[in-house]
Structure 1
Amino acid sequence: MTQYMPLFRSCSNLRSVTQLHAHLLVTGRLRSDPLPVTKLIESYAFMGSPDSSRLVFEAFPYPDSFMYGVLIKCNVWSHLLDTAIDLYHRLVSEKTQISKFVFPSVLRACAGSRDHLGVGKKVHGRIIKSGVDDDAVIETSLLCMYGQTGNLSDAEKVFDGMPVRDLVAWSTLVSSCLENGEVVEALRIFKCMVDDGVEPDAVTMISVVEGCAELGCLRIAKSVHGHITRRMFDFDETLCNSLLTMYSKCGDLFSSERIFEKMVKKNAVSWTAMISSYNRGGFFEKALRSFSVMLKSGMEPNLVTLYSVLSSCGLVGLIREGKSVHGFAVRREMDPKYESLSPALVELYAESGRLSDSETVLRVVADGNIVSWNSLISLYVHKGMKIEALCLFRQMVTRRIIPDTFTLASSISACENAVRLGKQIHGHVIRTDVSDEFVQNSMIDMYSKSGLVDLACVVFDQIKHRSVVTWNSMLCGFAQNGNSLEAINLFDYMYCNSLEMNEVTFLAVIQACSSIGSLEKGKWVHHKLILCGLNDLYTDTALIDMYAKCGDLNSAETVFKAISSKSIVSWSSMINAYGMHGRIGSAISTFNQMVESGMKPNEVVFMNILSACGHSGSVEEGKFYFNLMKSFGVLPNSEHFACFIDLLSRSGDLKEAYRTIKEMPFLADASVWGSLVNGCRIHQRMDMVKAIKEDLSDIVTDDTGYYTLLSNIYAEEGEWEEFRRMRSAMKSSSLKKVPGYSVIEIDQKVFRFGAGEESCFETEEIYRFLGNLQNLTLEVDYLQINV
């Protein structure tokens, strides 16, 4: 074999390997000597011809275990993992002694897919039976296999059983934890590694730094950076770039800038990392200035750099600068087919309002880049342009571009008012079996927002592995559609089964308690919220609203006072709480405190203070705050006018209310006219209703309350023709009056009663009790009359 080694070393391309192959065939060495055969198999694989390697292998009459091992390794090189595993099974079936050289390659093949974990475990069993489980290379391969297939518990068992744990073993376990999202565990293992006296190298530290970046904990990040500095690793360019990114993800942009400035050799990756860090921190102008300095320094940007800069331009709306970067990429022919830059270009032009240019980029890309299609569909959905998003989705299907899970989830989100199309996409998901958690959650959200809670429940029930996002989607769906009892029951199930909860979970159940006025349940949820340590500004604001709606104003005040950094929403909620309890003085005082704190009131705050004036009948105060809006740059919208006119109408100043409607800068809608009509009903001014009859006849709305109010007024006045016209208008619009219901809370359980409902299991007993109570009342009245 030694005489052929120089020949194999001289093979620089596939042609020279083929020539050597022909020479070996002529000499007959390929039929009798396994060594040149093995080397030829390896040479073909190295030159990118695994099929030729397989043909050479099959031509040899008696391949041994070592030759099998070489071919398996060659297939792993070529990413032919299934073929490598099939070869291993073939070797096992021949019942020959398997060389330990085979096992690392087979384990690497098993590590390539979680589907091969079962095979990997069987290989592990054979390794133990063969008595080679103490081999350092095999142990490290087992660690990789279990780690890459997500089986960290078995990886740690292998690690714990290793007699000697070197740097490679420790680093492999740390990397495995990071790859599976177990950042905290990875950092714990890294600490154990250092405590054990094993010195990490720069490659290990890069993995640890990336883990710190994902965790986002600045304290741990600084500790790791200190370790790097003490070990003199901070001269490594790649490590410095990772540190730069780590600090930006931890919110310490100053440290990122300091590392960047201290770097002696800055490459394109360094500049790109700094530009991305500025983008991450929202300093888009700084990102663009850094790009300009980079070009002036003579450093050539790469595609990632241009992508980051285009993102900066898009987020700031600098279309001119973005087009300049686009032109730079075209002149340098850096991305002729727009395979890399198309998503950023689509986003740039869309964010700048140049939607036609975005679609032009899509046409250039054609079918090659689904990410670009997804970017534009997602942007349309985000901007509320749901019809445009669905049209793009239809174009994709027409062009036979196969949508991925991101496409489907974004398109489903756009179907809130297009349930029929949403159902069609749902059908496509079922037929193609491309659903994942993201898509399923989008379907739950779509059906819930469309009022089809039953269909949302069907999707929810079919999901086997539910994350906290899935539970929250269903919980919010119940809460948003008035199914408060169902939302509370779902929360109870989550709590009793110790399922994961977050702030959104508590926010939804607090809103459900608010809807039905369940004070005791709300207090219980508040207690659990404190125990879990999940309360934040949003949940605190929801608690203020819940306590106020449940009649416990003192608790609402306590929660409000405990908020250290009050947002505009917090102030607004407290003003609304005082308003619904008729405490106009406290509402005004809170409004004044908010303004004195430097917080500028918005349209919601003014809506709440006007509502507070309405609840207490404070007309003069209402006029003052309605006129005050313009002083703070807030223009009254339809809701403000409706609230103000309701205040005037209830107080009897119907002429002023009518004059205000006529002076509105836009046409009054049903809510505005409804406020005036309600005032006319209260003060029995049917003459005024007749006077504005022509104005009322022009209104088309889906508000059942408006039609019900008018029809009831006409019925009270005996104008049955108008009454029938109102009811007919409701029927022609397919509108139905939402039935009212009452709720009662007994032993922390809430029971709901509505007209025609018999959902409570004690319904018969309740009606029997009510009947007895009615009879008892009649008997008392009878006795009082006769006495």
Structure 2
Amino acid sequence: MTLYMPLFKSCSTVKTLSQLHAHLLTTGLHKGTLASTKLIESYAKMGSLESARLVFEKFQTPDSFMWGVLIKCYVWNRFYEEAISLYHEMSCCYHETQFSSFIFPPILRACSNIGEVGIGQKVHGRIIKYGLDSDTVVQTSLLSMYGETASLSNAKKVFDEMLLKDVVSWCSIISSYLHNGKAKEGLELFRQMVSKGVEPDSVTMLSVAEVCGQFGSWILARSVHGHAVRREIQWDGSLGSSLVAMYSKCGDLYSAERLFRCSSNHSAALWTTMISCYNQSGCFQEAIDMFEEMQVSNVEPNSVTMISVLCSCARIGWLKGGKSVHCFVIRKAIDHDMERLGPALIDLYGNCGKIRDCQNVFNMVEGENIVTWNILMSVFARKGKSEDALTLFSLMHKQGLLPDSFSLASALSVCGDIGSSDLGHQIHGYVIKAGILCEFVQNSLIDMYSKSGLVDSANQIFEDIEWKTVVTWNSMICGFSQNGNSVEAISLFDKMYLNCLEIDKVALLSVIQACSHLGYLEKGKWVHHKLICNGVKGDTYIETSLIDMYAKCGALEIARRVFDNMEERSVVSWSAMIAGYGMHGQINDAISLFSQMVELGIKPNEITFMNILSACSHTCFVEEGKAYFASMTRDFGIEPISDHYTCIVDLLSRAGDLSGAYNIIKSMSFPAGASIWGAFLNGCRIHREMDMLKRIPINLLDADYNSAGYHSLLSDIYAEGGKWDEFGKVRLKMRSAGLRKVPGCSIIEIEKRIYRFGAGDTSHSQTKEIYRFLEDFVDMAQKAGYTEKDLYMTDTGEFPRGNNVISHGERLAIAFGILNTSPGTTLRISKNLRVCRDCHSFTKIVSKLTGRTIIMRDLNRFHHFKDGFCSCRDYW
């Protein structure tokens, strides 16, 4: 039989092997164990398992070795369940047969590949029974099986019981920990391995390098690299690429570049890794330059290389370069992997605004590649084509292509953008039914419900998530902040901080926004301090948010200090500072800053002009406001939109030029909306021009039933003019339409805490003391020479009845502040509505008699009360 062994190697097809098999049958040699075993093995290697099984079944008394060969053959061909069935069959038929160690490694491999740890444990029991648990090969197979089925405790137990731990067993246990997310434990085992003088192979070094990259530890990366150099571990393509990627992920692009240049084997994989490193570091032009250098070096790129380069072109919006790469792909016939290249091409054309080209590539991609659908959907979403994105999602479902987590997240994002909570709710139902409640989708649900204004639904999902990541916390904090639930946003942020979770830029920005909304200065300062401690400097977006926050918290000097210290100022930064001056009535500073901005060559945008016009409106700078309004189009080519017209109409109406305001409204190229007519209406109220009301379209307020503000304003005008019949009609219309005024809410900050008061609020623990103070203060004011009219100058011109005015939120907040702070302490109050006349007069008197500075922010602007005067000069 020995003479026939070389013939098995010479058989390259099933046909030639069958001829050899026939010859063995005629000579009777097939009856030997060696011949039959070799036939089984040879047929299996050629993929003919049926022939291999037939040879086995015709053999009368197969021994354990032959059983082991057949089982191994099934594992080779990835028929794992059949291999396990053969093992069970062997166990039942040959109870007394002494199992050889040869049988167990392949059956353990089958168990690990299909995740059958239970069967693997039973096999382990039989190994112990037959005394084979000390066999090194079997032990290593057990290590691999337990590691790949995430049974790390069992793997560690097997490893600890090994008398002889060679490099294979060390590498196996280390890989088990690393691949199951136990990076620290895996690296500790690696350290022990090295300290015991066992040299790791390149595969282990590759795994360790990948984990170092995930940790982002530069020191650890240097140690691993140094060990590889000292031990002269062979630098094959994979290890070299992993080390380059490791340095890049640790933020050390310089070392990654240097390692790349020092490598003697510049394979396509290494070039591709370096290009990807540039992309991950945001160096997209350098990635493109590296690709061009690769071409000069005559290294043939693969599809992964092309995907990386297309990504570079997409990120910088370089359409011409992207098209050149696309042509290169076609010319080099790399389009055989179009399923992978397709999404990259769609992303490129989408980022460059070429939607039709995206659709053409999408139609070219064969097969049902879910990634391609997801990329096109995200392109539609980014470019504002929400309906197209949802249509594509629906088409995907109709074609029987099951959406994955990315598909669902994209669809939910679109639903949030367009406020389609009904469709979002349906998708939510599908998510629950399909069981796709992964973190990514849950965060998208929180975002969708938050953008749709359904904060309670978003919070319910947040509370139901057992293991919350930083992204999940951020999503909910953003949801609260964006919906005006600022107290809840800050409270949740505090919980996140107390849980020692990583506080990143997203969370801090959301809290800054919440502090701006509440006027919560001390918390805003704390956030600013955290940003400084975390080394966040030079971020224009964050610093602009801080300017806005400090200005809205009444700390204009700090806002200006942040502005002056900025390394780079965007037009948004300038606009925010101008807005801050406008809110505080410092019109000269606002004008000076605007002029400085223009002199420096920074072109103002629509928001800048809206802010400077608003500043003029608050201070009655009519001529300056007119000049800015004319300059928009004449000098900067900016066409006024509704917000700009609202500002200029408000400016003229407040100043008493109602005819001029009306003429501007009639000159508009588009119909005036409720906000513009509302500004005109307010001017009529201020100057008691009842006749001008006739010029307002009769159907304006009828059409805007969602706004109680304009109805209330109109009713106030009628009340001030004594037209009670008209007043009653408007109020009746409000009741029949179910319109209610927004409840007033005043907030005061004391000793790093905020307190809220509504009109008539009696929920506070110091309610009796607050109301007693207000009643006593009236007596004190009258003794000081103030009359009842000074204290109660109501918007309707009538004296108040009962405690209606005395219980306004801002008065309660002021009283609480005086009762709970030392004399001379500045009080900071913010409210969500415009301060009424009687409360404005009351606050001036309080500042005079108590010697307090009171800074109050209302819906429109800031009021700085001091010594009986207000910074608005009673013009607001």
What band does the TM-score fall into relative to the shorter chain? Answer: 0.7 to 0.9
Report if the CA contact (8 A) 2:47-2:77 is conserved.
Answer: yes
Counterpart residue number, 1:642: 646
Structure 1 window deviating more from structure 2 (437-446 vs 764-773): it is 764-773
Report if the CA contact (8 A) 2:746-2:756 is conserved.
Answer: yes
Q: CA deviation at 1:389?
A: 0.5
Counterpart residue number, 1:112: 113
Q: Deviations over 1:435-485 (max 9, x none)?
A: 422122212211111112233234334434332222332332233223344
Matches within 5 A, 1:350-429: 350-365=350-365, 367-416=367-416, 417-429=419-431
2:357 maps to a residue whose letter is D
Structure 1 gaps, min length 5: none
Structure 1 window deviating more from structure 2 (683-692 vs 624-633): it is 624-633
2:424 maps to a residue whose letter is G
CA distance in structure 1 between the partners assigned to 2:425 and 2:446 by the alignment: 12
Among 494, 500, 506, the alignment partner of 1:504 is: 506
CA distance in structure 2 between the partners assigned to 1:143 and 1:565 by the alignment: 57
Cα distance change, pair 232–548 in 1 and its aligned pair in 2 (3 A): same
Q: CA deviation at 1:724?
A: 5.6
CA distance in structure 1 between the partners assigned to 2:648 and 2:194 by the alignment: 69
User: Secondary structure at the residue paired with 1:466?
Assistant: coil
Q: Does 1:674 align with 2:678?
A: yes
CA distance in structure 1 between the partners assigned to 2:387 and 2:749 by the alignment: 44
Counterpart residue number, 1:483: 485
Q: Deviations over 1:490-548 (max 9, x none)?
A: 44554555556544344434544544445666677778888999999566765665555
Q: CA deviation at 1:27?
A: 7.1
User: Secondary structure at the residue paired with 2:402?
Assistant: coil
Report if the CA contact (8 A) 1:133-1:139 is conserved.
Answer: yes
Report if the CA contact (8 A) 1:704-1:730 is conserved.
Answer: no
Counterpart residue number, 2:436: 434
Cα distance change, pair 258–724 in 1 and its aligned pair in 2 (3 A): farther
Q: Deviations over 1:187-243 (max 9, x none)?
A: 665555555544444444444444454455556555655555555568744444445
Between the two structures, name the one with larger relative contact order (CA 8 Å, sep ≥ 6).
2
Q: Deviations over 1:335-376 (max 9, x none)?
A: 358323221232333334332332233233354322211110
Q: CA deviation at 1:414?
A: 1.0
Matches within 5 A, 1:117-132: 117-120=117-120, 132=132
Q: CA deviation at 1:574?
A: 5.7
CA distance in structure 2 between the partners assigned to 1:600 and 1:177 by the alignment: 57
Q: CA deviation at 1:116?
A: 3.5
Cα distance change, pair 258–62 in 1 and its aligned pair in 2 (3 A): same
Matches within 5 A, 1:687-698: 687-693=691-697
Q: CA deviation at 1:33?
A: 5.6
Cα distance change, pair 634–123 in 1 and its aligned pair in 2 (3 A): farther
Please report the TM-score for the alignment, with normalisation by the length of structure 2.
0.72
User: Secondary structure at the residue paired with 1:377?
Assistant: helix
Structure 2 gaps, min length 5: 788-876
CA distance in structure 2 between the partners assigned to 1:135 and 1:455 by the alignment: 58
Report if the CA contact (8 A) 2:310-2:344 is conserved.
Answer: yes
CA distance in structure 1 between the partners assigned to 2:516 and 2:196 by the alignment: 55
Matches within 5 A, 1:249-288: 266-277=266-277, 279-280=279-280
Structure 1 window deviating more from structure 2 (769-778 vs 374-383): it is 769-778
2:469 maps to a residue whose letter is S
Q: CA deviation at 1:308?
A: 3.4
CA distance in structure 2 between the partners assigned to 1:443 and 1:181 by the alignment: 27
Counterpart residue number, 2:457: 455
2:109 maps to a residue whose letter is R
Cα distance change, pair 326–91 in 1 and its aligned pair in 2 (3 A): same
Q: CA deviation at 1:386?
A: 1.0
Aligned residue-pair number: 778
1:391 maps to a residue whose letter is T
Structure 1 window deviating more from structure 2 (226-235 vs 384-393): it is 226-235
Matches within 5 A, 1:746-757: none
Q: Does 1:349 align with 2:353?
A: no
Matches within 5 A, 1:581-592: 581-582=584-585
CA distance in structure 2 between the partners assigned to 1:134 and 1:28 by the alignment: 40
Cα distance change, pair 118–498 in 1 and its aligned pair in 2 (3 A): farther
Counterpart residue number, 2:15: 15
CA distance in structure 2 between the partners assigned to 1:720 and 1:59 by the alignment: 108
Counterpart residue number, 1:76: 75
Report if the CA contact (8 A) 2:748-2:754 is conserved.
Answer: yes
Q: Does 1:48 align with 2:50?
A: no
Structure 1 window deviating more from structure 2 (463-472 vs 535-544): it is 535-544
CA distance in structure 2 between the partners assigned to 1:282 and 1:524 by the alignment: 31
User: Secondary structure at the residue paired with 1:415?
Assistant: helix
Cα distance change, pair 72–362 in 1 and its aligned pair in 2 (3 A): same
Report if the CA contact (8 A) 2:708-2:734 is conserved.
Answer: no
Cα distance change, pair 333–200 in 1 and its aligned pair in 2 (3 A): same
Q: CA deviation at 1:383?
A: 1.9
Cα distance change, pair 277–487 in 1 and its aligned pair in 2 (3 A): closer
CA distance in structure 2 between the partners assigned to 1:378 and 1:558 by the alignment: 40
Structure 1 window deviating more from structure 2 (695-704 vs 608-617): it is 695-704
Matches within 5 A, 1:195-234: 195-216=195-216, 221=221, 224-225=224-225, 228=228
Counterpart residue number, 2:306: 306
CA distance in structure 1 between the partners assigned to 2:162 and 2:704 by the alignment: 78
CA distance in structure 1 between the partners assigned to 2:542 and 2:312 by the alignment: 33
Identical positions, percent: 52
1:6 maps to a residue whose letter is P
Please report the TM-score for the alignment, with normalisation by the length of structure 1.
0.79
Report if the CA contact (8 A) 1:349-1:357 is conserved.
Answer: yes
CA distance in structure 1 between the partners assigned to 2:104 and 2:562 by the alignment: 63
Structure 1 window deviating more from structure 2 (302-311 vs 490-499): it is 490-499
Q: Deviations over 1:30-58 (max 9, x none)?
A: 7x765545444433332224455555556
2:113 maps to a residue whose letter is G
User: Secondary structure at the residue paired with 1:340?
Assistant: helix
Q: Radius of gyration: which is bigger?
A: 2
CA distance in structure 2 between the partners assigned to 1:543 and 1:317 by the alignment: 31
CA distance in structure 1 between the partners assigned to 2:475 and 2:664 by the alignment: 43
User: Secondary structure at the residue paired with 1:393?
Assistant: helix
CA distance in structure 1 between the partners assigned to 2:501 and 2:288 by the alignment: 45
1:425 maps to a residue whose letter is I
Report if the CA contact (8 A) 2:171-2:204 is conserved.
Answer: yes
Cα distance change, pair 207–737 in 1 and its aligned pair in 2 (3 A): same
Q: CA deviation at 1:628?
A: 7.5
User: Secondary structure at the residue paired with 1:341?
Assistant: helix
Report if the CA contact (8 A) 1:343-1:371 is conserved.
Answer: yes
Q: CA deviation at 1:398?
A: 2.3
Q: CA deviation at 1:390?
A: 0.6
Report if the CA contact (8 A) 1:234-1:240 is conserved.
Answer: no
Matches within 5 A, 1:554-593: 576=579, 579-582=582-585
1:108 maps to a residue whose letter is R
Report if the CA contact (8 A) 2:303-2:337 is conserved.
Answer: no
Cα distance change, pair 405–692 in 1 and its aligned pair in 2 (3 A): same
CA distance in structure 2 between the partners assigned to 1:624 and 1:259 by the alignment: 61
Q: CA deviation at 1:408?
A: 1.4
Counterpart residue number, 1:465: 467
CA distance in structure 1 between the partners assigned to 2:629 and 2:234 by the alignment: 62
Report if the CA contact (8 A) 1:670-1:703 is conserved.
Answer: no
2:441 maps to a residue whose letter is V
1:459 maps to a residue whose letter is I
1:677 maps to a residue whose letter is L
